[in-house]
Structure 1
Amino acid sequence: MNDIRRRITSRALVAGDKLPSVRGCAARLGVSPSTVAEAYDVLAAEGIILARRGAGFFVAAKPQPFAVSETGPQLAREVDPLWVARQSLDAGTDAPKPGCGWLPEDWMPVAALRRAMRALAAAPDAVLTEYGSSKGAAGLRRHISRLLFDQGLACPPDQVLLTGSGSQALDLVCRMLLRPGDTVLVDDPCYFNFQALLRAHQIRIVGVPYTPEGPDLDRFEAALGKHRPRLYLTNSALHNPTGATISAPVAHRVLALAAQHDLIIVEDDIFAAFEPDLSPRLATLDGLERVVRTGSFSKTLSASLRCGYIAARGDWIEALTDLQVAVNFSGPSPMVAELLHAVLTDGSCRKHLEALRNRLSRCRAETQSQLADLGIRPWVQPRGGFYLWCELPGGADAAAIARAALQEGLVLAPGNVFSVSQSMTPFMRFNVSQMQDRSCGRILGRLLEAATRRPPGGQGEP
């Protein structure tokens, strides 16, 4: 019964679909035909399936709630993207969260935010009471256009669409370009919410191994030929979770393969401001022909002011604008856009970002030293940002460590939560800005010691 319910709530079975025969289902699940017959009878009594004499059992038209957690493989909670995200979001503000994906509150430009909020009180009434425009506030779109131009990407304001968040930007692109059953390539490992979002759209996910210079090109090309994906979703710079940055030769080859196989690329560039100097960008090299650029300000200014953006070719922006009106009616709140624009154009913003980069550089060095004392080494030396992707010593199971740490109030991010192939068992992503609480190192060290302890004789503990 649980198997049938899961397939219905994940939309693997929809209204009118015929269920396997009693004997076929019994053989697949390894149970007796009488057990299956009883389960089918109960599900029919509940109205979930229908019995048609001489024809078999069929999924009923009765609406069933869609459950994202039932799509894809059924993962242990400690490596399930949805569960890990919820643990990070729901942990108290005082709880140490080396596994979360944002900076501590005292790293943010709170003084500039408060100035902007005070100024907002004197804004025109429409800013405080009206819907936002369909594409979002013109002033903020112009500012984003200038930021992109400074990075070498010519993108006029009318090719910028403001959205309710960076995640919503990705959601709109998926709604426009994908249909259930389509295939999307992601890096392995990749940002775990990419997987959760694609599962919500009932998309088939294929992972491509990621290297210190970008996706493994041989495996990337093979995946294009074998799976014929519609999209490739990636971070080019300060890749999440590895911190790696794509090299120019790899970027050019990826674009050449994309053109050859009619592949669309979605480049999430949310960490752009953390780079000390500009690295190759797929959107810049491509000129927004087949690359869509997304981003937001949640990592650098405020996660509370939810606002993202999409930069894309003009006809796609028009289609995305219609889609945004259909699902959200307007762009992000004018108050949010006004606040962000005020902070971005405040003379202190440049200094804030520079101070962030310097502080993170020191913090990465301190955290690497702290982790090295525990035998933990980074997979690559990031050019910036706040992530270290590390391999635990002694082949320790990062998920088991994370599960034990959660019992002590410490939120960690084990490697397999980022991995489509579930091949990152000994890896863990550390947010260096959240490692300043010394209890993090003490708890981690104690759990590692317990995980790798060996009794006399050299045999592992049972």
Structure 2
Amino acid sequence: MLSETRTQQVMGAIRRKITGRILQPSERLPSIRGLAATMNVSPSTVAEAYDRLTAEGLIYARRGAGFYVAQTAQPFDVTEVEPRLNREIDPFWVTRQSLDAEPHMAKPGCGWLPPDWMPLEELRRALRRVARADDALLVDYGSTRGSFALRRFLAGQFADEGLTTGPDDILLTASGTQAIDLICRLLLRPGDTVVVDDPCYFNFQALLRAHQVELVSVSFTKKGPDLERFEQVLKQYRPTLYITNSALHNPTGASLTPPVAHKLLKLAATHNLIVIEDDIFAAFESEPSVRLAVLDGLENVIRIGSFSKTLSASVRCGYIAAKKEWVEALIDLQVATNFGGPSPVTAELIYSVLSTGGYRRHMYGLRERLAQQRRVSAKKLEELGITPWLMPQGGFYLWCELPDGMDSADLARRALDGDVVLAPGNVFSVSQTMAGFMRFNVGQMSHPETLAPLHTFLRDAG
């Protein structure tokens, strides 16, 4: 039998105390440093053990107050996260269809642009520059906050929007998804309630359910969340978090209007609600819409984002902008779970591209190209009886209503048989009320043959 690691020994000791009722539900665990001294291990070993036990649901973290025994100590099992028999409306399965699709398959349901839409020459030049960097960049761990140059660049961009923040208020992460995961680890415990839009990005649902929280949805309108329902939810459920895209919302493409944004923040402050604003599509707007983080000044709002949509999904790096005390706590969590942020090579590569005029020209051209492709795609879809819910002011998604009586999951199932990956509406809906909708990626619809099989599927299903 292989010997246990020190982390496993610490985890085993805590488990035995919980199962033996030595540690009771809601009881505070020893501090990280205290237990490290008792067990003669390093604080990082205890931190990793606590983090793994938190992920299993045996314990939970209370912000600024340490770790506690969970009321119901049931380990997390991904197979129990909202199991669905109809895999066409399962977020995990839709993601896998897109990621594992063969090169010949059409992917109007995926969430990224084709390679020839991305700044390939800028990436190649940046790779050559990074290859000539100092030895330390190529082989050492990075700093706990991530590349200072990239954080300073982001702080400058935020300042241009009116968000006053410094590089030390920004934490780089391994991805945008990891940014959300770290925030959830810091602020949530099993059984907490989180508000999401209906519809919303499907991986918000998958990730939040992995943290064993309750999801409550609020209908998303063309101006933002339904504020009457939003206020009812805050009063009834007292949620901890709300997560949204305020700019070019996924999947609808809508952006918050100023009146809705101001009212939303007022409600959040009144009900002690923390808002995660995912800004991943903001760069696609030619005219910036209102930003919650700018209006709030990072008091109750945490801004996150990444570069996978505008630069490269292969070069993964995300960021979190938040008030200092939260950033400090998130740094500790990232050290415990990932031993630091993104690869220094990745961060340097991204900074090398972002800081050039070539990238700015790329984004200008990309916005123009997408505007044209949205119009062309909308017209082709309307010819099939598929109607865009609205025409977004940027981005690459069209949220569309299917002909009366047509189920998008059934259409997605038929499409898979013809090597076409679609994103049916209920993938995005906690309430499962979006069966008549479908999200289309216009960037993946430029090939003339993409809609040909869809025409056949619609005819056969009609």
TM class, shorter-length: 0.7 to 0.9
Aligned length: 394
1:396 corresponds to which of 403, 406, 418? 406
What are the within-5 Å matches in structure 2 for residues 170-249 of structure 1?
170-249=180-259
- Matching of residue 350 in structure 1 with residue 380 in structure 2: no
Deviation at residue 75 of structure 1 after TM alignment: 5.2
- SS, match of residue 439 in structure 1: coil
The separation in 2 between residues aligned to 1:237 and 1:119, in whole angstroms, is 33
Answer whether contact 1:68 1:199 (CA < 8 A) is retained.
no
Q: Matches of 2:123 and 2:193 in 1, distance apart?
A: 41
User: What SS is found at the alignment partner of 2:404?
Assistant: helix
Aligned pair 1:164/2:164, yes or no?
no
The equivalent position to 2:120 in structure 1, one of 107, 110, 116, is 110
Per-residue CA deviations over 1:69-97 (Å, capped at 9, x if unaligned) read 41236352100111111111111233210
SS of the residue corresponding to residue 394 of structure 2 reads coil
Which residue is equivalent to 1:425?
435
Q: CA deviation at 1:198?
A: 0.4
Q: Distance in 2 between matches of 1:395 and 1:185?
A: 29
- Deviation of 1:446 after TM superposition, in Å, equals 1.1
**Structure-2-length-normalised TM-score:** 0.83
SS in 2 for 1:348: helix
Superposition deviation, residue 347 in structure 1: 1.6
Given that 2:248 and 2:395 are in contact with CA atoms closer than 8 Å, whether structure 1 keeps it comes out as: yes
- Cα distance 1:65–1:202, how it changes in 2: closer, same or farther (>3 A)? closer
Equivalence for 1:438 = 448
Structure 1 runs (4+) deviating above 4 angstroms are 14-17
User: Aligned pair in 2 of structure 1 residues 311, 275: CA closer, same or farther (>3 Å)?
Assistant: same
Spell out the pairing of 1:31-110 with structure 2 (5 A cutoff).
Answer: 66-72=76-82, 74=84, 76-110=86-120
Q: 1:145 aligns to what? A: 155
Q: Distance in 2 between matches of 1:419 and 1:439?
A: 29
Amino acid at match of 2:223: E
Q: Distance in 2 between matches of 1:92 and 1:205?
A: 34
Q: Are 2:300 and 1:290 equivalent residues in the alignment?
A: yes
Query: In the alignment, which residue of structure 2 is the partner of 1:21?
Result: none
Quote how far apart the aligned CAs of 1:15 are.
7.0
State the distance in 2 between where 1:95 and 1:261 align. Answer: 47
C-alpha deviation, 1:151, in angstroms: 1.6
Query: Residues 112 and 169 (structure 1 numbering): CA distance in 2 closer, same or farther, change over 3 Å?
Result: same
CA distance in 2 between counterparts of 1:276 and 1:222 reads 34
Q: Deviations over 1:110-132 (max 9, x none)?
A: 10110011111210000000001
Pairing 1:319-358 to 2, within 5 Å after superposition: 319-358=329-368
The separation in 2 between residues aligned to 1:71 and 1:15, in whole angstroms, is 24
- Residue 47 (structure 2) aligns with: none
Paired residue type of 1:304: S
Q: Deviations over 1:341-378 (max 9, x none)?
A: 10001220110000000000000001011101101111
In our comparison, the structure showing a higher alpha carbon Rg is 1
Query: Partner of 1:132 in structure 2?
Result: 142
| Residue in structure 2 matching 1:314, options 306, 319, 324 | 324
Q: Summarize the Cα distance change of 1:232–1:64 in structure 2 as closer, same or farther, 3 Å threshold.
A: closer
Comparing 90-99 and 186-195, the one that deviates more: 90-99
- Which structure 2 residues correspond to residues 369-388 of structure 1 after superposition, within 5 A? 369-388=379-398
Query: Are the counterparts in 2 of residues 388 and 432 from structure 1 also a CA contact under 8 Å?
Result: yes
Conservation of the 8 A alpha-carbon contact between 1:69 and 1:82: no
CA distance in 2, matches of 1:429, 1:351: 28
Matches of 1:75 and 1:260, distance apart in 2:
41
How far 1:440 sits from its partner (Å)? 2.2
Q: Which residue number in structure 2 is paired with residue 407 of structure 1?
A: 417
Query: Conserved in 2, the CA contact under 8 Å of 1:184 and 1:206?
Result: yes
Pair 1:75–1:267, CA change in 2 (3 A): farther
What is the CA distance between 1:67 and its match in structure 2? 2.7
List alignment gaps of at least 5 residues for structure 2: 1-17, 22-72
* Matched position secondary structure for 1:430: strand
**Cα displacement (A) at 1:311:** 0.3
CA-to-partner distance for each residue in 1:220-246, whole Å, 9 max, x for gaps? 001111111000000001000000011
CA distance 1:67–1:253, change in 2 (3 Å): same
State the match for 2:131 in structure 1.
121
- Helix, strand or coil for the counterpart of 2:391? coil
Shift of 1:64: 9.0
1:300 Cα shift? 0.3
Query: Is 2:284 the counterpart of 1:263?
Result: no
- Residue 323 to residue 437, structure 1, CA distance change in 2 (3 Å): same
Given residue 96 of structure 2, which amino acid in structure 1 is its aligned partner?
A: R
With normalisation by structure 1, the TM-score equals: 0.83
For the pair 1:447 / 2:457, whether they are aligned, the reply is yes
1:226-268 CA deviation, whole Å, 9 max, x = no partner? 1110000000010000000110000000000001110000000
Whether the aligned pair in 1 keeps the contact of 2:293 and 2:301 (CA below 8 Å) is yes
Q: Which amino acid aligns with 2:220?
A: Y
* Cα shift at 1:408: 1.0
Percent identical residues: 61
Q: Deviations for 1:32-69, whole angstroms, at most 9, x for unmatched residues?
A: xxxxxxxxxxxxxxxxxxxxxxxxxxxxxxx9974324
